Chain A
Amino acid sequence: MTQFLQQLTNGLSIGSVYALMAVGYSLVYSIMNFSNFAHGGVIMLGAYFGFFGLTTFKLPFAAAFALATAGTALVAIVVERVAYKPLRDRKAPFLYFIISAMGASMFLENFVIATIGPNPKPYPPIIPREPIALGDLALGRLDLIMFIVSAACLTLLVLFIDRTRLGKAIQASAYNMKASALMGINTDSVVILVFALGGFLAGVAGVLYGMKYMVYPTIGAITLKSFIAAVFGGLGSLPGAVLGSVLLGVIETLVAGYLSSQYRDLIAFVILIGVLIVRPTGIMGKAVEDKA
């Protein structure tokens, strides 16, 4: 039983990281209808911003965190302006957006390899590594913090989208961009806002990921899993992204813990494909009107 609870805890902790990353994909998808693969690169930059804030500039944690999230929000906007805006203006097909996104992702990754170097770097110890012991169950302090921060960020995001005028503008644009523009919504600003929000979340995810593991230029590879989790939960639906991520994290850990770690990805993805065959829009993906 302890073993099961321990594995469940591990799975929830991994799932909460996926969730923070997956929501960024879903947010952009709901507005732009394409998968923003540059998101992984932005998360990676967030991890580096936080790292340099803490080590090179010796900032207190809160300041480094603010720097990282502001930095990634800015980078996300720049990526939108440089890589997507020209395509949007020319009404390019969505395939071109995806290619452009992959290009941006590779650029960010290789830019970091060329300027900072490929070697992984550790975050300075901020939170003690000793676990909180509950009987035989070991709860990582960092895991708890990650879980709480993820939940808080996601709740705030949902409140923002549901309760504010800007949130309503995002919802309207997600429903129909053209009609929203005709109703007087500045859809260009909405796109910037969405990328800023996605970038902010990328910063949070990057810093937390860096603290939990380490910082390296190919963090983007792990975000591929969170993208898959977003599809699984229903791309375009925020609660779906969260649910998909947590489920993926838990399934992965239980498969690795009870069957075999070699079969982890194999079985996890067979389940995902099975779900998509039954529900092609993912668990919580519905018709267009419920996006965002």
Chain B
Amino acid sequence: MNFRKAAFVVLAIALVLAGCGGKQKADTIKVGWFGALTGDQAVWGENEFNTVKMLFEEYNAKGGIEVGGKKYMLEAIGYDNKGDAQEAVNVTNRLVSQDKVVAILGPNASGNAIPIASTLEQAKVPDIATVATNPKVTVQDGKVKPYNFRVCFIDPYQGAVAAGYAFDKLGAKKAAVLYDVSDDYSQGLTEFFVKSFEGKGGKIVAKEGFTAGDKDFRAQLSKIKAAAPDVIFMPYFFTEVALSATQARELGITATFMGGDGWPSPDLFKLGGKAVEGGIFVNHLDYDQPTVQDYKARYKAKYGKETELNGYLVHDAVLMLVDGLQRAGKVDGEALAKAFESTDIQGITGRIKISPTTHNPEGKDAAIIKIVDGQYKFLENYAAQ
């Protein structure tokens, strides 16, 4: 355990003690946060909690926030769940029963956000997940979970964004899809892409699958080549993207390649080289997009290092929380959850308009990124209609 991690644990303990101290200040709103502060994902957890603390300090420095005509200070109570699902339930229990928080921010991982739903429901405390993109975080078996919300869009939505961009902006009329039939992520993106592209009047001329572990895609690509598409959608991860793109160019395919957030990796250029040049993919946001520059600079000034993807999303989770509290007009979890359902704010990562039926931000802006000269080039923000 290095010094920084140790410091966080001490801080967390101190916060618990402060919470148990019984010195309940009437004008403080307690907000929980949890995520990994130790282990593989510690860098993201630390980044999220730092951002929450920074924003709360900024609100408090301006005299706090006004809820129902009364001023409140914001207090963040953070715990380390080590990125573990079991521990996620434990710390959620502690936050709602001991610390009596009004809402919880985080966690970042879908696997940690899914198991806490029943605890939240019992305690009537809403949670805003940050980068948990699995559809099951907020909707299970077609039913929305009443106390789970998120500020990121779900994975398959990227498919709709890619389809819209291909049809409306690139002018593509014929699209082909190559996807991993053994992977949920790839299937979800494919489904949304096809539905959306056909909905706009485009034609899916080929839809070919492969299974995880395949390294040769030429049989499928030859079939795609014969169908002469304008774009080929490749919703899978960078290793297979590099291989399939290379093989497609070897077969003389000239169509534009498109994909989702499985693409970005320093290895993409190493593995794919010239074949991925000109490829266009969808991501949650781009670090170079104008709306995030202010937060990025504030974070750097305070902590002396760059923020990660998580920081941007937890930033918007805080905005959504403050907006929800102000509209609820009282410090109460149930009223807050109700207010969250009609959220419609402009975050730095895009417009967050929560759908009451899915608790996801619908039609949120995504970043469209193009590969130019072995670099990621931000093109624009784009939302699927």
Interface contact B251-A6, CB-CB below 8 Å? yes
Taking the closest CB of chain B, its distance from the CB of A119, in whole angstroms, is: 7
Of the candidates A119, A129, A254, the one whose C-beta lies within 8 Å of that of B267 is: A119
Mask for B225-241, Cβ within 8 A of A = 1, else 0?
Answer: 11000000000000100
Which parts of A1-27 form the interface with B (CB within 8 Å)? 2-3, 6-7, 10-11, 13-14
Interface contact B219-A262, CB-CB below 8 Å? no
Interface contact B275-A122, CB-CB below 8 Å? no
Whole-angstrom distance between the alpha carbons of A119 and B215 in the complex?
14
Report how many residues on chain B are interfacial, defined by Cβ distance under 8 Å.
29
Question: Which residues of A are found within 8 Å of B210, using beta-carbon distances?
Answer: 261
Interface contact B222-A264, CB-CB below 8 Å? no
Mask for A116-137, Cβ within 8 A of B = 1, else 0?
Answer: 0001111001000111010000
B4 within 8 A of A: no
Question: Which residues of B are found within 8 Å of A138, using beta-carbon distances?
Answer: 250-252
Residue in chain A with minimal CB distance to B240? A120
Residue in chain B with minimal CB distance to A17? B216
A140 within 8 A of B: yes
Of the candidates B219, B222, B239, B246, the one whose C-beta lies within 8 Å of that of A129 is: B246
A92 within 8 A of B: no
Interface contact B222-A257, CB-CB below 8 Å? yes
Taking the closest CB of chain A, its distance from the CB of B193, in whole angstroms, is: 18
Residue in chain B with minimal CB distance to A253? B219
Of the candidates A3, A125, A130, the one whose C-beta lies within 8 Å of that of B222 is: A3
Whole-angstrom distance between the alpha carbons of A7 and B223 in the complex?
9
Whole-angstrom distance between the alpha carbons of A105 and B62 in the complex?
64
Say whether, besides A120-B239, A120-B271, A256 and B213 are in contact (CB < 8 Å).
no
Interface contact A6-B213, CB-CB below 8 Å? no
Which parts of B301-342 form the interface with A (CB within 8 Å)? none
Say whether, besides A6-B222, A7-B219, A262-B209, A131 and B250 are in contact (CB < 8 Å).
yes
Which parts of A152-211 form the interface with B (CB within 8 Å)? none
B170 within 8 A of A: no
Question: Which residues of A are found within 8 Å of B249, using beta-carbon distances?
Answer: 129
B274 within 8 A of A: yes
Residue in chain A with minimal CB distance to B210? A261
Of the candidates A120, A130, A213, A252, the one whose C-beta lies within 8 Å of that of B219 is: A252
Whole-angstrom distance between the alpha carbons of A3 and B219 in the complex?
10
Interface contact B273-A122, CB-CB below 8 Å? yes
Taking the closest CB of chain A, its distance from the CB of B153, in whole angstroms, is: 28
Say whether, besides A3-B226, A119-B267, A138-B250, A261 and B239 are in contact (CB < 8 Å).
no
B218 within 8 A of A: yes
Interface contact B270-A122, CB-CB below 8 Å? yes
Interface contact B218-A253, CB-CB below 8 Å? yes
Which parts of B247-295 form the interface with A (CB within 8 Å)? 249-252, 267, 270-271, 273-275
Interface contact B219-A10, CB-CB below 8 Å? yes
Whole-angstrom distance between the alpha carbons of A142 and B271 in the complex?
17
Whole-angstrom distance between the alpha carbons of A260 and B219 in the complex?
10
Question: Which residues of A are found within 8 Å of B275, using beta-carbon distances?
Answer: 129
Whole-angstrom distance between the alpha carbons of A10 and B225 in the complex?
13
Which parts of A97-153 form the interface with B (CB within 8 Å)? 119-122, 125, 129-131, 133, 138, 140
Q: Which residues of A contact B (CB under 8 A)?
A: 2-3, 6-7, 10-11, 13-14, 119-122, 125, 129-131, 133, 138, 140, 213-214, 221-222, 252-254, 256-257, 260-262, 264-265
9 A-B residue pairs with CB within 8 Å: A3-B222, A6-B251, A7-B222, A14-B216, A120-B271, A129-B246, A214-B239, A256-B219, A264-B219
